[in-house]
Amino acid sequence: MFDKHYWNERAERYGHTGHAEPFYYCFDQQARLQAIETLIGQARIPKGLALDFGCGSGDFVALLKNHFSSVYAYDISDVMIRRVKQRFPQAAVVASDTLDEVLAGRRFDLLLSVTVLQTFSAPTLDQTLSLLAEHLSEQGLFIAMEFFTTAALNRRLGETKATAEEWQELLKKHGLKIASLPGFINSHLAPSKSWNSYNNNLFLKSLKPFKRYAFARAQFTRSAKKILNHYRDTLPETGSPLHFYTIQKEQACN
């Protein structure tokens, strides 16, 4: 299901590979950016090479460019990669839909994956983690925002995605260890003050009928960024079912 055709179709339809609902997407994307910015700011790692694994339209690439000397972007969607290349024509960003071309013997100080690995089957996740672990520098950091399923949910939905238990086992298999596990806000399961402020804003509500238009989406994004900057609550300490995994090589944690 989650093959190149699937992601290309979403890219063509929505202009990105994130949430399909514009009002929610504009807030959620800004929340993700703020959370990642915070985690990178807290990380004591070299600031050489970074890889956005599953880069989509390139919003996280833009963020990484502010912190790392060179940024590499990979996505299975060649539609998204073409757009990223147009967005970042300078040599400091290398984008490709071929993973071997991006890795090419490099060691990355930051690996970033945002809701990508959670779509993989266990065998594919195994192969991918093997590659990512090999190309993570000894003192580097792997940030993964993922929500893994359970075996029971897979059976109910008829899916074959890797489970949370398999994720944990495969991290250990490839010499990776979770260094910290901060929560991430969720509008439905763990609503935050920032989300409530955004969601209840009367002016933004009035724009919902026009949510497919660029001017409305731009206003959603500006408002979300302003509200999030005010509350700074994207990484709650408790109460959230969603998390960012911050991962290091086993020896780096000892």
Q: Tell me what the pLDDT averaged over the chain comes to.
A: 93
Residue recorded with tokens 């596990």: 181
Give the domain ranges of the chain.
4-19+35-185+241-253
Q: Which residue has the tokens 């990508």?
A: 116
CB 76 within 8 A of CB 124: no
Mean pLDDT on 54-69? 96
Write phi, then psi, for 176 (nearest 5 degrees): -115, 145
Q: What pLDDT score does 92 carry?
A: 72
- Summarised one tens digit per residue, pLDDT across range 146-180 is 989 899 988 998 999 999 999 999 999 999 999 99
Helix (H, G, I), strand (E, B) or coil at 219: helix
Say which CATH topology domain 4-19+35-185+241-253 has: Rossmann fold (3.40.50)
Residue-wise pLDDT for 93-120, tens only, equals 899 999 999 999 999 999 999 999 999 9
pLDDT at 174: 98
Q: What is the pLDDT of residue 187?
A: 81
Measured between alpha carbons, how far is 112 from 56 in angstroms, rounded to an integer? 12
- In this prediction, residue 1 has a pLDDT band, given cuts at 50, 70 and 90, of low
Question: What is the predicted pLDDT for the residue at 253?
Answer: 58
Question: Which of 49-58, 230-239, 242-251 is least confident?
Answer: 230-239
- The rounded Cα 176 to chain-centroid distance in angstroms is 19
